[in-house]
Amino acid sequence: MIKQSSYQAGEGRFCIKMFVSETDEGLVAQLFGGEKPHVGAMVLSVPAPGMINPGAITCTTVVVPLLGHKDDHVAKLAAEQIARAAGVPVVVVAGVHVDDAGEKEIKELVDNCQAVTRALIKDLQAAK
């Protein structure tokens, strides 16, 4: 069975949307937003017990950015956070872009990416 959900944070050109497809054995999240949603990076993160501390969950993560894109930063952060919370492999495809974004605008976009990630994690934890 596939469960689908969506999350949104921010407004206007800083709006971030996350579309999620969840199965019993993994989760795929699409993280898009800004003025030009696109495919800028793909991340696969697989949770596993830590080698030094087996009680801690670590992740083996593969990051595939498109040349010239920075979307891998938000995709990796989201994928690892979701994988740790869900305990299953997670793929995040991300594409967020605002023309001529400065430091403040980038922070707002990243904060909104984190907000949708937190909302998903909250729902995953509530479903356990």
Looking at every residue in the chain, the average pLDDT score rounds to 95
What is the model's pTM?
0.94
In the block, tokens 């952060």 appear at 77
What is the average pLDDT across 58-83?
Answer: 96
Average pLDDT of span 65-79: 95
Q: Give the confidence band of 54 by pLDDT, cuts at 50, 70, 90.
A: confident
CA distance 57 to 47: 6
Parallel, antiparallel, or unpaired for β 16-23 and 26-34? Answer: antiparallel
Biggest alpha carbon–alpha carbon distance for the chain: 45
Q: Give me the domains of the chain, ranges plus CATH numbers.
A: 3-127 (3.30.230.100)
